[in-house]
Every structure is written in C-alpha cells, then in structure tokens.
Structure 1
C-alpha cells in the first residue's frame, strides 16, 4: 500500500477492520484449502499478507513487530492455512526464496505463493537420509536448460495438494557430502513425479512418499548457488521453527482483545486483574521476541506458548 501506517495503533485499527470482514468473505466456502486461498488472496490484496516483504513483491517493508501485531489480532479469526496445506509455503519456502533466491525466482514465486495460488511442500527426508540428511542420494544432473532429477523423498506433508516443492538434491557426488547439495524448486505436477500416501493406523494419511523419475526443473529454478544448498536448507529450518513457534500464524490468546475487554467491563483497575493482564502481556512479548531469533529460541517459544495458554 502507498500509505503504510507509521504507528502500531493505526496498523492495529487497519488489521481489525479487515478481519471483521472475514466471516462474510468466507461465507458459503466449506473446503479448507479453498477457504484458506480466498482468505490469503484477500489479505494480500489488502496489503496485509506480506508485511515484512519488499514493496516490489507486494509487501510493505515493515518490521517484524507489525507481523506480530497482525498475528495477535488475527488469532481465532482466520482460517487455518497451515492445516489446509499452505503453511509450508507461507512460513518456510517463500521466506527462503525471499532471502536467498534470485530476482527471477522472487518475481515468479512470491506473489502467487503469498496469495495462496500455489501450494508448496518440503522435499528433504529420504528413506536413507533422515537424521543424517546430508547423506541424501536424490540426484540432479544438468542437461542444457534443465535439471533432470531422480530419487525418492519420504514423510512429505501436503505433497498430494502441492504445485511446487522445495527440493534438496545432490548435484556434485565428487565433493564432501555437505558441499555437493543444491536447493531447487520442483514442479510437482509432471509425469516424473509420483506421490503415494503413507496410511496411518487411523486410516488417515498425513504424510507421503514422493518418487521422482527423471523429473525436469528449469535451470534457473535453483535457490542460491549450485552446491550451496546445505546452508540454505538450515536457514529454511530456522523459518520452520519460527513458523511452528508462532503457531502457524495464530496466537493461543488474543492479548490485545483481552485487555480491551477488561477495559470495557471496567475491571482493568482491579489490582488482581491488572497483575494478570501484565503477566499475559509480558508473556506474549517474550514469545514475539524469541520468535524473531534463530537457533533454539523458536523451540523455547513453543514452551512459552503452552504456558500462556493455561
């Protein structure tokens, strides 16, 4: 948007105004993926779907604090994009492309992904490369203007509904294993990609095996440098921890609304209520600040979120 709010209070008002219209926006749409897509498209078009992205990619160039404000306001009001299969793209793949991808990749993938038009999955683990992920054997070989990929991935969430996958593959077998890995974007809907659900005891399938047989990827769809995929994979996992720590964009307690409710019910002057509100506000801020950091902090965030929800 051209006139981005400069204060947190103004932004909070803007977010509330948009969120109040969500029930009407989603009225009559029952399928979870379609609900999430409709919501994400409207959120992006309203200037609220890419707050910390650059303006040229549909963002507003705001700091993470505004993302946290929107997350707080949206708690309980927005459809579960993560549950519908969109959380992997929004929370992990797209931030990785934003941070490490070429301008061409950003132009191609950021807007459609942020609007919910394309669903992503994460193609990391293999039958023989789980805890030792760097031992992966899926290979990608350059053939003119394309990469030819062959291998197998496992425990892939959302593969059955995905348009694209963020893929780790070995592009150089003659160097130490961590240095021979590249990150590529795999089009999932092509003849060389077969998806098989892994059925659980409950009869439900939450994960998939993905068999890749000479699937093709445009040469320019490599994230970062050839052979530099391991470092970028670690960066993506940091985004994953942050996304999980944030509850996939949903707070356990809508702090601002609880404080507002206390004011409206004229109980905010009660010392005991004020103490509880202060504890709630402090805990929420701890979650926000931990969630902005890499490493172990998003894991600590999950513990704080559990404590906050009690």
Structure 2
C-alpha cells in the first residue's frame, strides 16, 4: 500500500487545489453537509452552474475519453479530484449518478451518434440522468425485477414500476433495465434501454422521507413506447450491461460521509455534559475512540484501493467494506450525538438546533445509506464470497425460468 502521491499525481492534485481555491469556498468544520438532500430550483441552478464551470476547466469527465469531452485520465486522477473537492462547500448529489454510472454505460453500449448527442450536455450539467434499477417486489434482488418490455415492430412497449430512484424528479434521461423474456432464468431474460424521462407513459412520484427530503422517487411506466435504437446491448444481455453500470459505481471512492468522526470530536469538545465538556467524560471518549479506529481502518482500506488505481488496476470487491462500515457508523455517531444533547437532540431546525442540525439530518438520512447502491446485507455477501472466499448462499431459483419462480403475489 502506497500512501504517497507519485510526482504526476502530486502535480495534478496541486492543479485541482488551485482551481478550487480560485472558484470555491473552503468548507469549515461547522458547515452543514454540502450534499443537496433537498434540491429546489435555486439550488439546482447553482449546481448546474458549478458543473459547467468544472467542465470548462477540465475537471468534469476526468476519466472519460477525450473523444467525448473528457480528459482521458486515469481513475486515480478522478479520486484525487473528489478528495480535494470534498474540502470545499460546493453542491453535490445532482450529477454523480449520471456522470459516474449512466454515461459510462452509454459509452460502452450506445452508438457513436447517440454519444455525440448525449455526452456533452451531461458533462456540462445541461441534462441530468438517473438509474432505474430497484423495484418494489425485487427487494435486494435486482435480477428479480418485473418491469416488462415487449417488442412491437421496431419499438418496445414498457410497463412496470421502479422505486428508490435518486433524482428521477430532476432527470431528463435514465437508463432502464427491464425483463424481456420470463421463460428463461432471471439473470438471462433482461434487457437494458435508455429513456426520455419526460416521454408520455413515464410518471415520477417523489417519496417524502422522514428527513424532510424527497430525493428518492417511484417511477411508473404505462405503455411507454421507445424505439429499438434505444436498446443498450443485446436483447437478453441486460445483466451484463447492469454489471458494467455497477462496476463504474465502485470507482466512486469518496471520503467518510459528513458529519464524520472529526465533526463528532469537535462537537464533544464544545458541548457541555454535566457542567464540563463532553470530551472529559470517559464514556464519551471511549465511544469516540472506537469510531476513530473504524475510520482509520476504512481510510487504510481506501488507500489500498487508491494504490490499485494508481497502478492501473481495477478496484475489487473489497470496496464494499467501506460502505458497510460507514453506513452503520454514520447512524451510530449521529444517534450518540443526539443522546448527548438530551431533549435538544429533538430539535432539527438548523437555525436553532445545536451544531446546525447536521447530526439530526444525518440520523434521519442514515437508513438510506444502508440501502442505496446495494443493501448492507448484499454487500456483506459480496465481502464473504468474493473477499473471504466463503461458500455462496444457496440459490434455488438459479436455473429456474423466471415465470416459475414463486413470488408470493396473489
């Protein structure tokens, strides 16, 4: 494991810092989380303006081919930019799925003409993309999806429902995985498409969350008609296309979500408990020390991934470790901070709550972190099977035609 940048990486990091210093404000430890949990019209304008500025400066599409407006650099350059940008108060959460997962999938399977049409506007923040994967009846089993696409001449007619689609209410386009053949095993009868989110037959319903945000959505398809030209990959090869999307997700290797262990430590230093700073309480110090050790463990794991990227390798399944640990740690730390506040922990209004309400927002948002991008249970299976080499779960429906798989419905 190499903890130091190469000379080239150090020079690139310096150029990133120069750009950010000139165009963004440093993010103080007292600042509220920068991610846009609730994006209104004004914040969306700010996010689009920032994306356009990044693109003009060459810090968007860092590892995209130059043919499509990118910089043609390595994944480690992308990681370096994300590390440095995380230190500044800039909008996040609007374009990550489209630029990190949807467009790279398009690059692998779409036509040249389609890429000429869609990559530029996405890179500049003019169009937003979402990923339409999860379904109500599928749970954590993506291959158990039921949204149907039926061939009709040169078109496909789509009916079904997706859920937990982040940013669908803001999106102009999306990639959509469907079932095109129920007579074969579930992984073999899937086909991927890209769709216009404003087309007739697409209905988006935001899901109001307990945090007050509504960035997850249900999406309904009623006789949505799209041309075969919008198919990505071969018919029945949708699982392969979906895996390409999920592999791109692994390259989104970021820092610990805020509020992090340093935020909790700073809060314990200034918050009084029994007439003295909470950090003086041995119980508080013991809990913080435990989370600090976990944070350093995840940091070391990230550096292993960075080392692989720096050497030109692809990050492996061990990237799942950080997501499992961080999701639970985020919830535990936020709950502990609220416990220290006592009755004040119930006040979530940032204008009157202690520490700007960031721990309240973190606690209410943390269940989503254990679901988004693969549930913690699925990630633990990945770690067990692909990192530790343990036997896989028994899958009795592996070779069964999907139409014959018991569903428990009606």
* Distance of 1:77 and 1:11 partners within structure 2: 17
Match of 1:61 in 2: 72
Match of 2:226 in 1: 217
Residue 297 of structure 1 is aligned with which of 305, 318, 322? 318
The answer as to whether partners of 1:290 and 1:298 remain within 8 angstroms in 2 is no
TM norm structure 1:
0.75
Distance 1:133 1:11, change over 3 A: closer
SS of 2:187 mapped into structure 1: helix
SS of 2:188 mapped into structure 1: helix
SS of 1:56 mapped into structure 2: helix
Aligned residue pairs, count: 274
1:37-48 superposed matches below 5 A: 37-48=48-59
* Distance of 2:219 and 2:324 partners within structure 1: 33
Shift of 1:64: 1.8
Residue 101 of structure 2 is aligned with which of 67, 81, 92? 92
Residue 79 of structure 1 is aligned with which of 70, 79, 90? 90
Distance 1:247 1:104, change over 3 A: farther
Match of 1:108 in 2: 117
The answer as to whether partners of 1:156 and 1:208 remain within 8 angstroms in 2 is yes
1:57-87 Cα deviation digits (max 9, x unpaired) = 01122222222222233222252321xx322
1:82-137 Cα deviation digits (max 9, x unpaired) = 1xx32211222122222343333322322221221111222112221222322222
Distance 1:173 1:233, change over 3 A: same
* 1:130 corresponds to 2:144: no
The answer as to whether partners of 2:83 and 2:255 remain within 8 angstroms in 1 is no
* Distance of 1:93 and 1:20 partners within structure 2: 30
1:235-273 Cα deviation digits (max 9, x unpaired) = 322323432x425999x89xxxxxxxxxxxxxxxxxxxx
Greater mean alpha carbon deviation, residues 281-290 or residues 216-225: 281-290
Shift of 1:187: 0.8
* 1:117 corresponds to 2:126: yes
The answer as to whether partners of 2:61 and 2:99 remain within 8 angstroms in 1 is no
Distance 1:216 1:35, change over 3 A: same
TM norm structure 2:
0.58
Distance 1:131 1:8, change over 3 A: closer
Residue 62 of structure 2 is aligned with which of 51, 55, 61? 51
SS of 1:20 mapped into structure 2: helix
Match of 1:285 in 2: 303
Specify the structure having the higher radius of gyration (Cα). 2
1:215-294 superposed matches below 5 A: 215-243=224-252, 245-247=253-255, 285-289=303-307, 293-294=314-315
* Distance of 1:86 and 1:303 partners within structure 2: 23
Residue 162 of structure 1 is aligned with which of 166, 171, 176? 171
* Distance of 1:218 and 1:39 partners within structure 2: 34
* Distance of 1:285 and 1:68 partners within structure 2: 11
* Distance of 1:70 and 1:207 partners within structure 2: 27
Q: Which structure 1 segments of 5+ residues have no match?
A: 1-5, 254-278
Coordinate RMSD, CA, aligned: 3.6
Residue 172 of structure 1 is aligned with which of 171, 177, 181? 181
Greater mean alpha carbon deviation, residues 136-145 or residues 183-192: 136-145
SS of 1:77 mapped into structure 2: coil
* Distance of 1:46 and 1:30 partners within structure 2: 25
Q: Which structure 2 segments of 5+ residues have no match?
A: 1-6, 26-39, 262-295, 334-410
